[in-house]
Structure formats: C-alpha cells, structure tokens
Amino acid sequence: MKSDDLLKAYDELDMDLYLKLADSLLSIDKFSVNDEILKHSRIYSYYCGLLEFATKSVKDYEVDMEKHEVDLKNDARDAIIQAGARATVAAVEDYVGRDSTLHSMKKNLEEKRYKQGLLKSLVQSMSHRKDLLVQLSANSRAETRMITD
C-alpha cells in the first residue's frame, strides 16, 4: 500500500469505509496463519503511521483554531472599545460566538477527531488480531506436535 492510497483512505474515512477496512484487515484465514502473521506487521505499521498522521492533523488544527479564536477576541475587544462600550467577557464571547469561520473550524476539528477515533479503533483491533494470530500459531504447532508424537 502506498502513502497516497493511505492518505486517500484517510480523506474518505467514514463509518462505511471503516467497516469495509475492518472486514478486510481483521479477517483471518486459519489455514494460512503463518502468511497472515508475515503480512500483519507491515499492514499494522501502515495504519499506525496513518493514526500518527491523524493525531498530528488534529493537533495542528487545534493550534490554528486557538490562534483564530485569540485573534477574534482581540478584534472583538478593539471593536467594542472603538464603539465606546465596555469590553466585558460576555460581550467578547458573544462576538466570538457569532464568527462563522470559527464555527466551521470547530466542525472540521470534530470531523478530524472522528477520523482519528476510527483509526485508533482500527489499530486497537489490529493489535487484538495479532494476539489471536499468535495464539492460533501456537495452537497449530501444538496440534502438529500431537500428531507427530
């Protein structure tokens, strides 16, 4: 899988895609456990990297949103004082609360957090898959020993 494919999947990530990914990434062919183990670490690392990308994206966006909010508060104070009124906390918050850009940024941040949460769940499920693969492999080896003994 290439980084472009992973980033495209991240951009398009929603519940439907999450379910498709979960079905395809978490299924196990019990007749080829060794092959499953070999490819698991590679795929797991891809999605861990994508989760880190999502986490960085959320943090970067939070910083941008906080800066925008601080700028808005400064603009609000200046505008209120220019109008000859007192720049109370409530007046500044009212001004900030009406900003459509900040509202849009908050919605975008929630979407980024949602995608991050889906990726986190997928990575956790892949970790459980690894544990299951290890157990299946151990069981297979035990069965082989029983047959040969």
What's the rounded mean pLDDT across residues 130-149? 76
pLDDT at 35: 85
Q: Over 123-137, what HEC string results?
A: HHHHHHHHHHHHHHH
pLDDT at 123: 95
DSSP 13: -
Query: Taking 70 as the threshold, does the pLDDT of residue 144 lie above it?
Result: no
Give residue 32's pLDDT band: very low, low, confident or very high (50, 70, 90). Answer: confident
Residue 124, both tokens: 């956790």
Of 38-47, 54-63, 138-147, the least confident: 138-147
Calculate the alpha carbon distances from 92 to 41, 72, 81, 102, 103 in Å: 51, 9, 11, 14, 15
Instruction: Share the mean pLDDT of the chain.
Output: 91
